[in-house]
Amino acid sequence: MGYRQLTQTQRYQIYARYDLGVSRRQIARELGIHNSTVSRELRRNATDSGYDPEQAQSCSDHRRRTAWKRTKRLPSMIAAVVDRLREEWSPEQISGFMAPLSGVGVSHQWIYSLIWDDKARGGDLWKHLRQPKRRSKYRAQAKSAGLGKIPNRVGIEHRAAEIDERRFIGHWEGDTVVQGHKQSGLVTLVDRRSGYLLAARLPKLSAELTQKAMIRLLKPRRGAVQTITLDNGSEFADHETVAKAVTAATYFCDPYCSGQRGTNENTNGLIRQYFPKGTDFRQVTDAKLRKVVEKLNDRPRKRLGYRTPAQVFLGEYSGALNTAGAALVA
């Protein structure tokens, strides 16, 4: 039995059966699909609040829309894009217009790449943009900031399924909290089981500063670092340096599926109570940030049996708390 795309109906059936406690293998038999398909579906699309078939379908649809391969961009499609650019259409307009027609689609980011590659070869497509200088300047800034593809990216679908169960500390989620258009920010790391938070200031967002901050935060605790699941931001492009420094595996969520890092997302929301949007983190002292981190780590959580993240993480890390592998709420 090979892998096939699940339908929305099948996702609702998985949800209904799984919610009743039916095993993944039995669900697969009932639906006539391979049991690894069910496991992969629950691993990729479940969130902290459980498996939602509508959200799962949304994530799947997005992956299919954005998984366009270069081989599918036929010369006729490229010619159609070029023709519309010369008619002063914007890349966004072209992308939106062609999506229902071509059956394959083309993203506006790819069209911009086509334009700048053409310019590098001496072409004039860039002149047909409405604000060619601004676009060029933005692209230069983006390039200098390290925006673009993440090298050797490994998707969350390759992460071990048992990590979803949160039975042990050492599996972290990472993201950034930023000011404006990535002017300054924080890098935040949260342990999935305990909710224990680590954070460091970033005077500006770049891959180099981010990896240095992550290593500084994780290295003293590298005995409790096994995996790190990250956002797709380009500031994590140097993830391999981090992984090597702390001997961990790094994984990346599916685009627009932040629920796959639900612990981190929720914690970042708590951080925003102290540092609202627009906060210039260059003006925030390390002492102030440390105080906020300590407050959050010392706040009891219902899902931890009203223990604090610090109690669970530090207790299980040191062996003082004998709860590793067990449920924290009876």
**Chain segment 117-164, per-residue pLDDT in tens:** 888 778 888 888 876 654 444 444 434 433 347 899 998 888 998 898
Contact present, 153 and 111 (Cβ < 8 Å)? no
Say what the pLDDT of residue 143 is. 43
Instruction: Identify the CATH number of the domain defined by range 156-318.
Output: 3.30.420.10
How far from chain centre, in Å, is Cα 228? 11
Chain segment 172-220, per-residue pLDDT in tens:
999 999 987 668 999 999 999 999 999 999 999 999 999 999 999 999 9
Structure tokens, 291: 């105080």
Strand partners for 251: 229
Question: Using an 8 Å Cβ cutoff, are 123 and 212 in contact?
Answer: no
CA distance 45 to 12: 13
Q: How far apart are CA 203 and CA 184, in angstroms?
A: 5
Query: What type of residue is 55?
Result: Q
Burial of 4: CB neighbours in 10 Å, binned 0-12, 13-18, 19+: exposed
Share of the chain above pLDDT 90, in %: 38
Reported as a single tens digit per residue, the pLDDT across 38-69 is 888 888 887 777 788 888 888 877 766 555 44
| pTM confidence score | 0.59
Which of 11-15, 99-103, 289-293, 301-305 has the least mean pLDDT? Answer: 99-103
Count the residues in the chain. Answer: 330
Helix or strand run (H / E) with residue 194:
none
Kindly provide the b/e burial profile for residues 226-246, where b requires at least 16 CB atoms within 10 angstroms of the residue's own CB.
bbbbbbbbbbbbbbeebbebb
Rounded to an integer, what distance in angstroms lies between the CA atom of residue 195 and that of residue 172? 9
Asked whether 323 and 312 are in contact (CB, 8 A), the reply is yes
Token output for 14: 């998985």
Token output for 274: 């102290």
Q: Is 45 exposed, middle or buried (0-12, 13-18, 19+ CB in 10 A)?
A: buried
**pLDDT at site 122:** 82
